[in-house]
Copies of this chain bind each other. A is one copy, B any other.
Amino acid sequence: MGILQITKEEQELMLSRFRVMHADKDEILVREGMASNRMFFVKKGCLRIYFLQADGTEATRYIAFENNFATALMAFITQEPSLEYVQALESSELLYISRGEFYDMMNKVPGWEHFYRKYLESAYVNNTNRLMSFITMDATARYKLLLEENPAIVQRLSNKMVANYLGITQEALSRLKSKLSKG
């Protein structure tokens, strides 16, 4: 969970208020223009958060595997229409809570705002690192960073999705792998 240092008790407190739901493989839970009114937690499977670039291609911001929270966070905060999509990459068992309940809990449940503060710190750092990597790094550097920080993405997802995550074509990814295995 990266720098999100919450205790098991804090997490269980949160999750006791969540409901169970299922998402099919490739199902889209939030689209661009929709409200983002649920916070999700991945019990089993995998959620992807992505947005469309100026040329219409998809850019993946975040991939949440088991035991991670995920939502289209900017729209969750602002209640404006989402710029991001939330998609299940695998058949997934999810927990969720509505945005209204989530914010309501902050006034009612001790520790909830503390959890959310830590979650926001983690989301800020992850997202800033991720978006800055598009601006400051080339594809080779992004691939090395991915292998170091999030190897599950390479191990578990299709080459197509890994290439998308890196912002390159599948052909470029093949060349990159071949280059690095020789180097």
A residues within 8 Å of B by Cβ?
Answer: 3, 51-54, 59, 73-74, 77-78, 83, 113-114, 116-117, 120-121, 123-125, 127-129, 131-132, 134-138
Which of A51, A53, A78 is packed against the most chain B CB atoms within 10 Å? A78
Nearest chain B CB to A122 CB, angstrom units = 8
- Residues of B contacting A114 in the complex (Cβ-Cβ under 8 angstroms): 113
Instruction: Please measure, in the bound complex, the distance between the C-alpha atom of A53 and the C-alpha atom of B54, giving whole angstroms.
Output: 21
Tell me whether A51 and B120 are in contact (CB under 8 A). no
- Residues of B contacting A52 in the complex (Cβ-Cβ under 8 angstroms): 136
| CB contact under 8 A between A128 and B129, given known A116-B117, A120-B121, A121-B120 | no
Q: Out of B83, B113, B125, B134, name the residue touching A74 (CB < 8 Å).
A: B125
Tell me whether B120 and A54 are in contact (CB under 8 A). no
Q: Out of B3, B117, B136, name the residue touching A113 (CB < 8 Å).
A: B117
Instruction: Please measure, in the bound complex, the distance between the C-alpha atom of A136 and the C-alpha atom of B53, giving whole angstroms.
Output: 4
Nearest chain B CB to A12 CB, angstrom units = 21
Instruction: Please measure, in the bound complex, the distance between the C-alpha atom of A53 and the C-alpha atom of B124, giving whole angstroms.
Output: 19
Nearest chain B CB to A74 CB, angstrom units = 5
| CB contact under 8 A between A3 and B54, given known A117-B120, A124-B124 | no
Smallest CB-CB separation from A107: which chain B residue? B114
Nearest chain B CB to A96 CB, angstrom units = 20
Q: Out of B53, B74, B117, name the residue touching A135 (CB < 8 Å).
A: B53
